[in-house]
Amino acid sequence: MENYDLDVNALEDLCATLEEPAFLIDKNYNVVWANQAFKKKYDIPLGTNYSQLSKYEMHHPSTMDCLELGRLIKAVIKKETYAIKLISLPIKYGTETVSVLQLIEYMDLPLPDNGNSSIILDTHTSILRLFANQNDEAVLLTDKNNVPITFNEWFDKEFVKTPEIKELILKQLEYKNAQDIYENIQRIMFHSHVVSRRILEENGRIIGYVYMFKPKTTSSPKAAHRTTHDVSHNAIIKHKSKSRR
């Protein structure tokens, strides 16, 4: 591969207005650039290898995965009262990924007593939650990056007996693009629910997704219970078999 020069000035201009920390690692996993927000929050000198950052809460394998796979990867690290959203952007020279720009965003989590401790809040949460609760079927809402925002009471009730299915659905929102997520959820729920999706737009831009779950009719309550149980069992086995090494 020919030598290349990264335009650091252009990168600084791009990230100058960001309030969130951002940094860049090269193909050897060394931190070669960071914006002021990152420098202010973390005491990490340039030249530090990413493998040495494991003591920091924003350290996550998705950053290295982005460099290896050469595609955008999103991840969420959940803490007790807040969450860290990581967006890893590959920077390429030809077909080779030569560096990764890592964006870090801190977000508040709902209070534990509201039952949605695994769902992340953002600036649109109040409006979207109101929208979700106006539906009379199970609804899950995500933002434009497929980070879960909220679900309504029907969604919670629908999976009260199979919480592992709810967690598996939420798990699909990681590391995949919007169409992959939609198709994966449809496959998981194929035997028990009809899954549809609505794209939320504002001024021609996507701001979120609405996933709706409608139970399929079954001949008897026992059959319905058996179907849900089978879906739960098979989905978990399938998920485990595809777990990352």
Q: Within this chain, do residues 180 and 224 fall inside the same structural domain, yes or no?
A: yes
pLDDT of residue 222: 43
Q: What's the CATH number where 61 sits? A: 3.30.450.20
Q: Indicate whether 173 belongs to any domain.
A: yes
Answer for the pair 181, 166: CB distance below 8 angstroms, yes or no: no
pLDDT of residue 235: 47
pLDDT of residue 9: 65
**Token pair in block for residue 174:** 């990681």
Of 108, 130, 148, which marks where a domain is finished? 108
Answer for the pair 139, 156: CB distance below 8 angstroms, yes or no: no
pLDDT of residue 10: 67
Domains contained in the chain, number: 2
pLDDT of residue 44: 93
Q: Within this chain, do residues 129 and 234 fall inside the same structural domain, yes or no?
A: yes
Answer for the pair 85, 121: CB distance below 8 angstroms, yes or no: no
Answer for the pair 155, 138: CB distance below 8 angstroms, yes or no: yes
| pLDDT tens figures, 121-147 | 444 444 455 555 566 788 888 877 777
Burial class (CB in 10 A: 0-12, 13-18, 19+), 114: exposed
Q: What is the mean pLDDT of each run of 10 residues along the chain (245 residues)?
A: 53 72 92 90 92 88 87 83 87 87 82 46 47 72 75 82 88 78 91 90 78 76 44 46 46
Q: Indicate whether 2 belongs to any domain.
A: no
pLDDT of residue 223: 42
Q: How far apart are CA 99 and CA 112, in angstroms?
A: 38
Cα–Cα nearest to 105, from 124, 120, 127: 120
CA distances from 157 to 115, 120, 138, 154 (A): 12, 19, 8, 5
Q: Within this chain, do residues 79 and 123 fall inside the same structural domain, yes or no?
A: no
Residue 216: how many CB atoms within 10 A of its CB?
Answer: 12
Q: Within this chain, do residues 83 and 135 fall inside the same structural domain, yes or no?
A: no
Burial class (CB in 10 A: 0-12, 13-18, 19+), 21: buried
Q: Indicate whether 1 belongs to any domain.
A: no
What backbone phi and psi angles, to 5 degrees, belong to 80? Answer: -70, -45
pLDDT of residue 114: 46
- 207 is in which domain, residue-wise? 112-241
Of 60, 77, 108, which marks where a domain is finished? 108
Q: What's the CATH number where 116 sits? A: 3.30.450
Q: Within this chain, do residues 93 and 117 fall inside the same structural domain, yes or no?
A: no
pLDDT of residue 139: 87
| H helical segments located in 147-177 | 153-158, 163-171
Of 47, 81, 108, which marks where a domain is finished? 108
